[in-house]
Structure 1
Amino acid sequence: MADNKKPSDLLDLEERLKKARKSAHPEEDVDVEQQQRSEAMGIAFKMGVELVVGTAIGGLIGWALDDVFGSKPWLLIVFLVLGFAAGMMNVVRDANKSQQDEE
């Protein structure tokens, strides 16, 4: 019958090799779950910023056009809605892209 137990010399060698690999490549010790959380948080922050910026830019354009044409507050309202829609489109596009990247 074959003995499946490793001699103590091999076990010691394995332990020393593991320690040497960890010290040679410390970046591999990074917690994968923590890295995934960080990436998800970055994507969520980017989506929030895109939504706010789209709405703000639309509002600024509408306000400026209202000032030029004297149609207050109609162009402001229209461009606020358009800016919000553009921000939502960007959020949906990013969500679909990140979902496809996971698959």
Structure 2
Amino acid sequence: MVDPEDKERLSQLDARIEELKDAQHPSKPHQEEHYSQAQVAWRMVTELVAGLAIGFGIGYGLDLVFGTSPLLMVLFILLGFVAGVQVMLRSAQELQQQNSAKADEDERD
């Protein structure tokens, strides 16, 4: 069995180990990490291309079903482009809000 004195020493050692771990690796979740501007740009490009690809797929499929050659494909590509731009703008707005909140926090410090 472990002596009460040893239990206390072990708990103190555990506390010191946890303090050192926290000092080495801040406990920030992955979602709150800093992202570079290149990562944000790639995210926006991916969102735009996804909108275009989905629009193309829907338009092409409907053209095959209804036999309306390129009409619906062009229409849905344009709609996919508009949707992609909207998502890009929303991402930019989200990034701007995060940056302004961070700037406000830095001003307070």
1:42 deviates by: 2.0
Residue 25 in structure 1 maps to residue 23 in structure 2:
yes
2: CA distance, partners of 1:78 / 1:24: 54
Tell me the equivalent position of 2:48: 51
Tell me the equivalent position of 1:76: 73
Larger Rg: 1
**TM-score under structure 2 normalisation?**
0.61
Q: Which runs of 5+ in 2 are unaligned?
A: 1-19, 27-32, 101-109
The secondary structure found in structure 1 opposite 2:91 is helix
Residue 41 in structure 1 maps to residue 38 in structure 2:
yes
2: CA distance, partners of 1:62 / 1:23: 54
RMSD: 2.1
Residue in structure 2 matching 1:93, options 90, 98, 104: 90
2:96 maps to a residue whose letter is Q
2: CA distance, partners of 1:91 / 1:46: 8
Q: What percent of counterpart residues are identical?
A: 37
1: CA distance, partners of 2:46 / 2:88: 9
Q: Which runs of 5+ in 1 are unaligned?
A: 1-21, 29-34
**Residues 65 and 26 (structure 1), Cα distance of their counterparts in 2 relative to 1, 3 Å cut:** same
2: CA distance, partners of 1:45 / 1:26: 30
1:40 deviates by: 2.3
The secondary structure found in structure 1 opposite 2:68 is coil
The secondary structure found in structure 1 opposite 2:36 is helix
